[in-house]
Amino acid sequence: LGLNPGDIKKLQGYFDDLADLICEFPELRDNSKFVFVPGPQDIGIGNVLPRPGLPEIVTLKLRSNRFPKNGVVFASNPCRILYGTRELLFFRQDITHQMRRNCILPPSTHETKDVTNHLVKTLLE
């Protein structure tokens, strides 16, 4: 959802429905922070990183004054969030395929059977 011309209206309707649903629970709305991070299939500028937050045209109701100030955040992709003393990184992209495509020395089958482990090991080392 988000790549076809008619999807903008659908997406706007879905976000409006979500805003209405959240507002049915005032305590949740007033005591929570909602963070929306766009994914690779969401509307926006192509497959470029970093991706800016979701456009205002589809999120007007969530950005309205029905929500507390800073209660709804439309972050970029990737984004960092400070939670307590921890910094969390959110990155919505399937980089396994991209990294495997550019891999010079693919992992041997006896080294790892799961390519995800190889990717994590590559990123952390």
Share of the chain above pLDDT 90, in %: 52
* CA gap 50, 78 in Å, rounded: 6
Entry pTM: 0.78
- pLDDT per residue as tens digits for the range 32-56: 999 999 988 888 877 788 999 999 9
Which residues fall within 8 angstroms of residue 118, CB to CB, at 6 or more apart?
Answer: 107, 111, 112
Instruction: Point out the least confidently predicted range of 61-65, 88-92, 106-110, 118-122.
Output: 106-110
pLDDT at 120: 76
